[in-house]
Structure 1
Amino acid sequence: MAEAHQAVAFQFTITPEGIDLRLSYQALSQIYLSGLRSWKKRISRMRNRVIKGVYPASPSSWLFVVIAILATMYMRSDPSMGLIAKIQEHLPVSSLFLSVQGQTMLSVLVFSTLLWLSLILTLRFCLKLLLSYHRWMFEQHGRISTTTKVWVTLVRLLSGRKPLLYSYQTSLPCLPVPPIKDTLERYLESVRPLLSGPGFQRMTVLAAQFENSLGNRLQRYLKLKALWATNYVSDWWEEYIYLRGRGPIMVNSNYYGMDFLYVTPTSIQAARAGNTITALLLYRRKVNSEQLTPVSTVIPLCAAQCERMFNTTRTPGEETDVLQHWQDSEFVAVYHRGRYFRLWVYKAGRLLSPREMEYQIQRILDDPSPPGPGEDRLGALTAGDRVPWCTVRKQYFSSGVNKRSLDCIERAAFFVTLDDEEQGMMGEDPVGNLDRYAKSLLHGKCYDRWFDKSFSVVVYKNGKNGLNAEHSWADAPTVAHLWEFTLATDAFQLGYTEDGHCKGEVERSLPPPQRLTWDIPVEVRVLCVCIKSQFILTEHVTRNETANKTSFSNVGQNAINGKHHSKQRTWGNSI
């Protein structure tokens, strides 16, 4: 309660002598600095929006166009071929307010702005045409054609010097719709190994009937959508491939990333967590300010998936899940020994230093309080089927203390698990330990991760770390770039002291991490135990299959025959 009283900016009481007003200048200062940080971010977003809106030109190029037009007008030449005079005649400004020279100057500014915008649209259209060129992919190494060399030169000239992360988005070509004939040919080629002779002939007849009837009409609808959508398939792919899946996402959709295999920068768990969290938040700052260089091979790649990297969660639904994203979050959610904490990562508008992050994490590790009834197994809800999780969420997590705590997890920048186990390639069985390390990152104990978050960071007792990522919001290369930056920043930029602790100073007056509280009814506890039991049973069957030396061919045959499908799927993903 002491922290709650300190958070009150002002309070007043009415006494017989009058009103007793007390101000907490520290709390008011925190509110002011937090608001200042928020406004700085808004101004930064507005500035980036302007820079992106005029790309591949720059805002300063507008001034160059204006000066050029004024210079030609000064030399008694009209580059507008009479348009400036026409604009001056139709200006909705009375001559009482502006002199003749003022009206001429305003007309020149209007014409220069229109000319500048026309040049931007022309450059953007040319860049989009250039990025639609694909022959460079088929060039032999060391034998680049003259056409491709000219193309590379033009792309570099039109790309600008310092593009922001999302600068290319409006210049990227739209995904073309393939002809229906090509689609059906590829389909028949894919099913040919699965069908017998008569079955394949029947499928060929059905494909021809589809092309001549319903297929052509659907193709017209698809082309109509492609006219206004930058990618005619991305929204459908996200919903029908990922969000509409009703099975567990734990091993069927989510994937993982590992730490350095042979190097561990520090064996202190709190220190590794402190640097890892700091590096991730530094990456988020670069994403928000769009300072990251767009990923490019020869041509730039779409960066739209970076938008929902942080402050994002997958919310369960009855028929389809929904991805929720918040603009900002000043805290992360932390799990340790069955308990959940909210860790504030900013104070007075500044990001905590790595040493302060370590100090706060160590507070969580040293907290002796036990988990509440059912709290330690709560994460299993995100590991099971989606419909039961949706039902439980609506019934027991839509109000009260459960809703507040759940909101803290879902609105967090990301999720952190402080694991009690030691993992990595160690000991006399490095291959077996590597397998256990991978399985731990993929599913853990099924209740010590929050699989709905965009990604969850796992920090082990011996300093190893890793992450588990939800798949629907982005593909693996996007998360791989994030994780590569995190590991490199952790080891080579932030670094550690000689005794393995984070660098920086600690402000001891930091408020402790906030413990999240729950009121979990018996029905929810039973469901969490059932999910955990089902997970253990699947793991047991998996080990038996492996011990019996079940081959990949046998598992694949069982899957085709419809036998043990769920076991094979879990086993294959675990491996």
Structure 2
Amino acid sequence: MAEAHEAVAFAFQITHDGVDVNFDREVLKLVWHSGLRSYKKRLARFKNSVRAGVYPAPLSSWVLTFAVTRGLSAVGVDFFGFIHFLMSLSPLNVHLFGLPLAWLVSCSIVATLWWICVILFFRYGLKLLLMYKGMPTFYTQQGYASMDFRSSWNETSLTTKLWMMCLRPLANVTKPMLYSYQQSLPRLPLPSLEGTLERFLRSLKPLETAEEFAETTRLAEEFRLGLGKKLQRYVWLKSWFVPHLTFLWLECFLDFLSRWSTNYVSDWWEEYVYLRGRSPLMVNSNFYCIDMLMEPLTNVQAARAASMIYGALLFRRLLDRQELEPIMIYSMVPLCSSQYERLFNTTRVPGVESDTIVHRADADHIAVLHKGRIFKVLVYHRGRLLKPCEIEMQLQKILDNPVDPADGEAKLPALTAGDREHWSNTREKFFSKGVNRISLNAVESAAFVVTLDDKEFYYDPKDHTKLDKYAHQLLTGSGCDKWFDKTFNLVVAKNARIGFNAEHSWADAPVMGHLWEYMLATEVVDLKYKEDGHCDGEPAFHPPEPVKLKWQLPPECIDNIEFSYKVARGLADDLDLRLYVHDEFGKGAIKKCRLSPDAFVQMALQLASYRDSNGKFSLTYEASMTRMYREGRTETVRSCSIESCAFVLAMENPESTPSERYKLLKDACDRHQLSYQAAMVGEGVDRHLFCLYVVSRYLDADSPFLKRVLSQPWRLSTSQTPHGQTSKLDLRKNPHWISAGGGFGPVTDDGYGVSYIVAGEDVIFFHISSKRSCNLTDSTRFAENIRKALLDIRDLCGSEIKRKTKKDEANGAQVNGPGGSH
């Protein structure tokens, strides 16, 4: 009854004296403050949208432009007679401050036009420069985290240097807001059909027999000459891509008039790859990330959770105000920020044929899961964000709450972990009305979900079984301790170790990685704990009580929940997850080899995969970002190439010399960098072929070639975890502040999923997943193969460097002679 009283703002009853209304003033105050906060946020969003829309000009610059225009007009400068023309059209015949109002209005119109012209000049000048495709060379040389091009400046072409000199002043006119560069980002270019087919066939050559490759080549040629041309025209129409810079004016015109096709891939990719997938999200789609390497600053579960919740909500406030710094490569090239829009207050709603992503403008609460119970926790009170110590009080009450979950409630979140169609039907039948609908809405409308786990997580590089359990708990848990539909679940262990589990359809891993780094940085830099481990500070008032959500689950609904739970447990039990810490060397040793760290690791993965699969090469997926373009997401780098296969075969050939092997390694790394650069600038293979396939399905046109392309399994799926995206963390001075990265499930039943993070000068983390039900894969065995491959390549590079050093010394001795240097 007390909970019901807290939830009702006012009640009324009919008496002989009329209607008796009883107001709960405290609840009405909460409603008032919530509405007031909502309108303030709307006003702030409108203001920020205007500021971002006129970037790079500050709003105050219009006043200066108007003053200059009025001053010039006063001395006879009439701007092609436009001011006089406007005054002749004006019916105004009054004065303001002693000046003709018609003249002031005409000057303001002309000033506004000049102001807009200057803004468009800067914006489209920046857009023109950002269409240059030479920049990714820096990116792949230095890596995502470096953001520093000084070490590669001497190796840079003159064209790129001139481009950088022109770009820097345009990209840094004024301090940008989060979405300031969105209108200046170019559209993702559409590659030619011939170029895509050529790159596809080249990537497939080492993976097929001569007969299979001849058949694929024949199908590709038939597609190029026939159906492919028709499909390409439809994709071109969707992309509105202008292929030549000389037609930039047409690009600008289309950009100004059209908003339906800012990216020809992303909307279809989100819908068909993610939202129309009917398989469970857990393992198949969601991903995870774990804590920092250092020991937690506190071992109090509620205190650590409160600090991380507070950090996440501060990040959300930065997003709402657009005060978050946009990611800039080398402080010059902005990345698209559109994916940040749905980071909070968002959920994936199941459907029979396709899911939908529902985003709400605001949320003043979070949902907390603990021991099978779900609570609604208000994180704003009287118009302000609660302090960490106040949030800790709320969470501690949940931990101390002795109430058992209702029948079926303990496994209720398993519905979000099971098959999507089953969840959709269950939702429609049992959660579309009454108390279940109210409680479900409280979870789905929350800013995010927090899981207070009753297990302990351990980071122990010397005992991989503890790390494996840590990672496994974050990716799957019990199958019913996370709400997998939400954008992310913050997971806090009993011993205060943390991690997150994120849904994938709304954005890619770098966005969650940015939030994660900010949360960790806020904790270690800005927040403090008392000596007893509790949050610093004293509550200013008693925070709102957590409300346990109520559910009415009939036996049939409980049976449906149990069905989803069995599916989730099957997936969890079948997952073979290994977190391998390679601490024998890291980025420092790779730099001495003068090779890209990413290319180095990818070649090690190719060598390890070949050995693990008994002499077979696997089609390899590496994720690359296309966020230099508007609404860009990812592209595939096909890491298994002709050059990488030649290197692997040489490493396994006892008759090849170290010099031959090193040369082939260098060629393979160079090819990998070129492939990565091509993917970044929209000249990949797979997204283009994917869009052609989507069009063919719409046209009901059968294509044997596209069917062959999309039926090929990615037995090795890889991804590098980005880091260094926030300026709050100085990882060079504090390398232990970095997270150990995260991972994902295998893409195929007989393959591996490998996520890695080059975490520092001396350590690399690998998150390796496979399925126990497959007798061809073993994550522990693959981890050992990765270790051996890394060491073999390092030794190869070391021996080659020593050989060249001795050769140079010998040549120097011959030149200098016995008498010394000259």
Q: For residues 183 and 10 of structure 2, what CA distance do their matches in structure 1 show? A: 48
Q: For residues 92 and 224 of structure 2, what CA distance do their matches in structure 1 show? A: 64
Matched, 1:411 2:445: yes
Alpha-carbon spacing, 1:374–1:291, altered in 2? closer, same or farther (3 Å): same
Report deviation, 1:2.
Answer: 3.5
Report deviation, 1:154.
Answer: 2.9
| Structure 2 partner of 1:72 | 72
| Corresponding residue SS for 2:377 | strand
Matched, 1:193 2:225: no
Aligned pair partner of 2:459 in 417, 425, 435: 425
Alpha-carbon spacing, 1:26–1:556, altered in 2? closer, same or farther (3 Å): farther
Q: For residues 3 and 507 of structure 1, what CA distance do their matches in structure 2 show? A: 23
Report deviation, 1:267.
Answer: 0.6
Q: For residues 361 and 392 of structure 2, what CA distance do their matches in structure 1 show? A: 26
| Structure 1 partner of 2:526 | 493
Deviations 1:290-337 (A, max 9, x none): 110000113000000000000111111122211111000111111111
Deviations 1:411-441 (A, max 9, x none): 1100111101001224x96211011101111
| Structure 2 partner of 1:548 | none
Deviations 1:324-354 (A, max 9, x none): 1100011111111111110111111111110
Report deviation, 1:46.
Answer: 1.2
Alpha-carbon spacing, 1:398–1:24, altered in 2? closer, same or farther (3 Å): closer
Q: For residues 534 and 382 of structure 1, what CA distance do their matches in structure 2 show? A: 11
Gaps (5+ residues) in structure 2? 139-151, 241-257, 579-610, 619-711, 716-746, 754-768, 773-778, 780-822
Report deviation, 1:382.
Answer: 1.2
Aligned pair partner of 2:160 in 138, 141, 148: 148
Aligned pair partner of 2:232 in 219, 231, 250: 219
Conserved 8 A contact 1:251-1:573: no
Conserved 8 A contact 1:323-1:473: yes
Structure 1 range deviating more: 445-454 or 22-31: 22-31
| Structure 2 partner of 1:477 | 510
Conserved 8 A contact 1:538-1:567: no
Alpha-carbon spacing, 1:206–1:14, altered in 2? closer, same or farther (3 Å): closer
Matched, 1:280 2:312: yes
Q: For residues 577 and 67 of structure 2, what CA distance do their matches in structure 1 show? A: 79
Alpha-carbon spacing, 1:567–1:267, altered in 2? closer, same or farther (3 Å): farther
Q: TM-score, normalised by structure 1?
A: 0.91
| Corresponding residue SS for 2:358 | strand
Alpha-carbon spacing, 1:543–1:25, altered in 2? closer, same or farther (3 Å): closer
Aligned pair partner of 1:242 in 256, 271, 274: 274
Structure 2 letter corresponding to 1:213: G
| Structure 1 partner of 2:148 | none
Conserved 8 A contact 2:472-2:577: no
Structure 1 range deviating more: 2-11 or 471-480: 2-11
Alpha-carbon spacing, 1:470–1:333, altered in 2? closer, same or farther (3 Å): same
Alpha-carbon spacing, 1:141–1:72, altered in 2? closer, same or farther (3 Å): closer
Report deviation, 1:54.
Answer: 0.6
Q: For residues 16 and 396 of structure 1, what CA distance do their matches in structure 2 show? A: 40
| Corresponding residue SS for 1:356 | helix
Conserved 8 A contact 2:57-2:174: no
Report deviation, 1:540.
Answer: 5.0
| Structure 1 partner of 2:286 | 254
| Structure 2 partner of 1:553 | 613
Alignment of 1:55-66 (within 5 A): 55-66=55-66
Q: For residues 557 and 534 of structure 1, what CA distance do their matches in structure 2 show? A: 32
Alpha-carbon spacing, 1:135–1:508, altered in 2? closer, same or farther (3 Å): closer
Alignment of 1:371-520 (within 5 A): 371-426=405-460, 430-506=463-539, 509-520=542-553
Deviations 1:340-374 (A, max 9, x none): 11011111111111011110000000111111111
Q: For residues 526 and 377 of structure 1, what CA distance do their matches in structure 2 show? A: 11
Alignment of 1:94-243 (within 5 A): 94-95=92-93, 101-138=100-137, 140-159=152-171, 160-227=173-240, 228=258, 229-243=261-275
Report deviation, 1:555.
Answer: 13
| Corresponding residue SS for 1:156 | helix
Alpha-carbon spacing, 1:96–1:296, altered in 2? closer, same or farther (3 Å): closer
Structure 1 range deviating more: 417-426 or 326-335: 417-426
| Structure 1 partner of 2:694 | none
Deviations 1:26-50 (A, max 9, x none): 3443333222212211111111011
Report deviation, 1:492.
Answer: 2.1
Structure 1 range deviating more: 8-17 or 516-525: 8-17
Report deviation, 1:15.
Answer: 5.2
Q: Number of residues paired by the alignment?
A: 566
| Structure 2 partner of 1:30 | 30
Alpha-carbon spacing, 1:21–1:371, altered in 2? closer, same or farther (3 Å): closer
Alpha-carbon spacing, 1:185–1:568, altered in 2? closer, same or farther (3 Å): closer
Aligned pair partner of 1:572 in 770, 773, 792: 770
Q: For residues 771 and 163 of structure 2, what CA distance do their matches in structure 1 show? A: 43
Alpha-carbon spacing, 1:537–1:54, altered in 2? closer, same or farther (3 Å): closer
| Corresponding residue SS for 1:333 | strand
Report deviation, 1:97.
Answer: 8.6
Structure 1 letter corresponding to 2:279: G
Alpha-carbon spacing, 1:23–1:324, altered in 2? closer, same or farther (3 Å): closer
Alpha-carbon spacing, 1:356–1:567, altered in 2? closer, same or farther (3 Å): farther
Conserved 8 A contact 1:70-1:108: yes
Q: For residues 536 and 421 of structure 2, what CA distance do their matches in structure 1 show? A: 46
| Structure 2 partner of 1:48 | 48
Q: For residues 296 and 487 of structure 1, what CA distance do their matches in structure 2 show? A: 21
| Corresponding residue SS for 1:341 | strand
Q: What CA RMSD, in Å, does the superposition of the two structures yield over aligned residues?
A: 2.9
Conserved 8 A contact 2:282-2:475: yes
Structure 2 letter corresponding to 1:404: I
| Corresponding residue SS for 1:256 | strand
Alpha-carbon spacing, 1:137–1:536, altered in 2? closer, same or farther (3 Å): closer
| Corresponding residue SS for 1:572 | strand
Q: For residues 474 and 185 of structure 2, what CA distance do their matches in structure 1 show? A: 35
Report deviation, 1:226.
Answer: 1.3
Q: For residues 13 and 553 of structure 1, what CA distance do their matches in structure 2 show? A: 75
| Corresponding residue SS for 1:170 | helix
Q: For residues 118 and 531 of structure 2, what CA distance do their matches in structure 1 show? A: 57
Q: For residues 561 and 24 of structure 1, what CA distance do their matches in structure 2 show? A: 60
Alignment of 1:511-550 (within 5 A): 511-537=544-570, 540=573
Structure 1 range deviating more: 437-446 or 501-510: 501-510
Q: TM-score, normalised by structure 2?
A: 0.65
Aligned pair partner of 1:297 in 319, 329, 336: 329
Alpha-carbon spacing, 1:517–1:3, altered in 2? closer, same or farther (3 Å): closer
Q: For residues 315 and 329 of structure 1, what CA distance do their matches in structure 2 show? A: 17
Alpha-carbon spacing, 1:276–1:23, altered in 2? closer, same or farther (3 Å): same
Report deviation, 1:396.
Answer: 1.4
Conserved 8 A contact 1:555-1:568: no
Report deviation, 1:161.
Answer: 2.0
Conserved 8 A contact 2:475-2:501: yes
Conserved 8 A contact 1:252-1:573: no
Q: For residues 555 and 516 of structure 1, what CA distance do their matches in structure 2 show? A: 55
Q: For residues 442 and 616 of structure 2, what CA distance do their matches in structure 1 show? A: 42
Alpha-carbon spacing, 1:199–1:323, altered in 2? closer, same or farther (3 Å): same
